[in-house]
Structures are given as structure tokens and as C-alpha cells.
Amino acid sequence: MDSVSRVRNRAIYALFAVTRSRIPQYLAEFRRLEAADFATVRADEERRLFDLLRHASAHVPYYQQLLGDCGVVRDGKVDLDRFSDIPILTKDHILKKAEALHSDDMHERHPFDNTSGGSTGSPARFIQDRQFYDKHVVAAKFIYNEYLGKQAGEPEVNLWGSERDVYRGTLSLRERFTNYVYNRRFLNAFTVTESKLQSFVDEINSHKPVSLWVYVESIDVLSRFIEDQGLEIHSPKFIISTAGALFEPIRERVERVFRCPVYNQYGSREVGAIAIETRDRKYMRGFPYLNYVEVIDNDIIVTCLNNYSMPLIRYKIGDTAVNIDIDANPCLGVERPVMKTVSGRIISHFKTASGGLVHGQYLIHQFYFVDWIQKFQVEQTAIDLVICHVVLKGEPVLEDIERIEKNIKRVIGDDCRVNFDYCEEIPASPSGKYLYTICRV
């Protein structure tokens, strides 16, 4: 770590101290577990499961009777041997029984609203809290980076997406200050043109990041551009790819262009960090102090261990994975494999008349917190036509329709027509997944 990065590292921890953040405490706890043997890690995971189940039984209406009926919690005593008897929690349960999943003491935990990413075309609203955010979002990213060899304060670039930046055209003062302290550059990949891709190359070459955090589709587009144009690009220590399936042809191209390893990371808005590829990239390892992960018939089932405001226990997240025979693999302490690779979630880029691209996540974000929509799919059938297929669960709200149409036109073009197709059902793809964005241009 160079001297500038060391100064920034000290500044980050000084800010934690000034704000009385518990993140350093969580990091110390997680680092201890990262270095522990399998027995220690497993005992810690069981303790977290035990505490969560006891809390849910005492404070969450949905679980109060359910956990007793299946013999997991009775008279305050937890039987983890019966854990697999707990019925699977689905997104439909969250949509229909949201309030019953809220803990009666959540207001003591600094709760806030969030929504699922809508990977099945049907986003659900849920409650998270300060402990969840500090552990699963902030501390988890520290651990990701440290695991792969980067310290806080060393330069990084995020090839990410922010619809707020599309609207405002700039980051807030607080966001700019945070990025400065973290030595982080943010490149907005929701909308891209050739000139913007060139500016990304210039920024990466100037900042010389140790790591890149990227949307998989965005780094694929950038790598193609660099290769097609024959450009020189700085080689970081590693790249972490997220928000989509990292198919091998994409990985091979990105590694060829950037001359560094690319690691697949998997998480979700509901439960935060779930898994990341091991250093040898043979399988996905979990974070057993954050989530308890099961793969059942290729479905990913997650129990979030640190969100007591709205516990998600044995939650079927809607994504699929290639399973792994855990018994045939050595137990590597915290690196215990949970799956071979994630095979769900596909996002399309949409196209503009000027030759630009719009990341599918931008379109998806327009449907967050729209209560009258049960399920959606956004389809581009022509350069100037976008169709929003919607399954209703209430009366459409004109204000929401106008906002969605305005924001789609903002990135696709003012001449683009945005049609709403109200339908009874949205068919799944041949793979069984609902594709929530489709570009047919």
C-alpha cells in the first residue's frame, strides 16, 4: 500500500470512530472467522441461526406459530436438527404477508424500506435495518476486497449504475466526499456511448485502480470496445463481476483485455452478500456469518442471519445455481463451498437511435416501489418502441405511468414510444426464468 492509500485508510477508520460506527467491530469479528477452522466457523453459524430463530419465534407474528408447529422452537428452546422442516419462504409470501414478517421491535433497530431486484419480474418490498446494512453491505465489501488482496484506501473503480446520476447529472457532495476518502471512482454504466466508453478507459488509465467492481454486462461492453479499438488499458489486480451471470466467454474476454483474474460475486438486495468465487475460481464460497445458504434442486435458499427487523428464513430467492457435492470437497473453514456457480438472472442492454446502450438495471429500477404492479417485463421491440408488460394487483396510477415513461424516454430518446401492456400473466423463458428485460433489436 502506498503512502496516499495509507492516509486514506486511516481517514476511513477515523470517520468510523467519529461517527461511532460499529463497522470496525464487525470487521474484527469477520476477520477472526476468516482465519478460523471449520469447527469454529460452523459453531458460530449455528449460534447465529439459534439466536435468529429464537428472536423470530418471540417477536415475528409469521414465525410465532410456524416455528412451533414444525418443532424448531418450543418453549424458547431451539432444535436446529429440525431446521429443514421450516417451510420455504417465497416472494409470494412476502407480497401477501409482509406485515406479519415484521418484528414487533423493529423500530428500535433503525429500520428502512428496500425492495427486491425483481429478477422474476415481481419485486417485493421489505424492511432492513442498520445492523444489516453495516454488516451485509459495508463490512461485506471490505471482506471481499481483503480476501482478494485489496485494502481500504487503495484505488478502485466502480463500473456501476445510478439512475439518480442520469437524472441529476452529478453526485451529491456527500457522495463525492465518500468516494474521495475511499479513493474510489464511480463510472455510471446505465447509459453508454462510444465517447463515454472512451472516457471510462481514460479514467481507468488515470486512476490506476487496484480493483474494479463491475456489472457483468457493462464490463463485457467495455472490454469489447477496448479490444475492437485496439486501446491500451491499465491492468488492475482483480475484477469483481456482479449483477448477472458471468458466462465463461465473457470472463475470457475480460481477462484477456484487462490481463487480470475476474471473480464472480453473488448477492441480492434482500439478503446482501451471499457468495463469491474462491481464489482458485473453482466454486462459490459463502459468508457463513452473514447468510446460511442451501441449494435444493438447484434453487438457492437463503437465511439472512443479521436482519432481525424482518427475518427471511429459508427464503427462495428466485435464482438458480449449479450444485456442488460439498462432501466431496475439503472443508476449508470459512471457505466452505456452497455452490459451483450461479446460473440465474439475465439482463439485456437496450439500444438507442444514436448507437448508445442502456443497462437493463436502469429499466428495472423504474418499477421499484410501485404497489399496483404485481409483475413486470420491459421489452424493446424496435429502436423507438419499448413495451412494459404489466400484471396488475391494483388500479394503475397515472403519476407512476408518466414517471416511468419520462425516465425511459430520458435514456432511449424523446421519440421513443413507451406502451403499457396489461396482461394476465408473463410467460417464463425456456429455462424457466422470467426475463425482466428483453432487447429484440
How does 272-311 read in b/e, with b if 16+ C-beta sit within 10 Å? Answer: bbbbbbeeeeebbbbbbbbbbbbbeeebbbbbbbbbbbbb
CB atoms within 10 A of CB 21: 16
pLDDT band per the 50, 70, 90 thresholds, residue 431: very low
The average confidence (pLDDT) of the chain is: 87
| 0.75 exceeded by pTM | yes
pLDDT at 164 over 60: no
Does CATH place domain 350-439 in 3.40.50.1100? no
Per-residue pLDDT of 179-212, as tens digits, reads 888 899 988 877 778 898 999 999 999 999 999 9
User: Would the CATH topology of 1-345 be identical to that of 350-439?
Assistant: no
- According to CATH, what is the number of the domain 1-345? 3.40.50.12780
Which amino acid is located at 272 in the chain?
Answer: G
How do the domains of the chain map onto residue ranges? 1-345, 350-439
Range 213-232 average pLDDT: 90
Burial of 62 (0-12, 13-18, 19+ CB in 10 A): buried
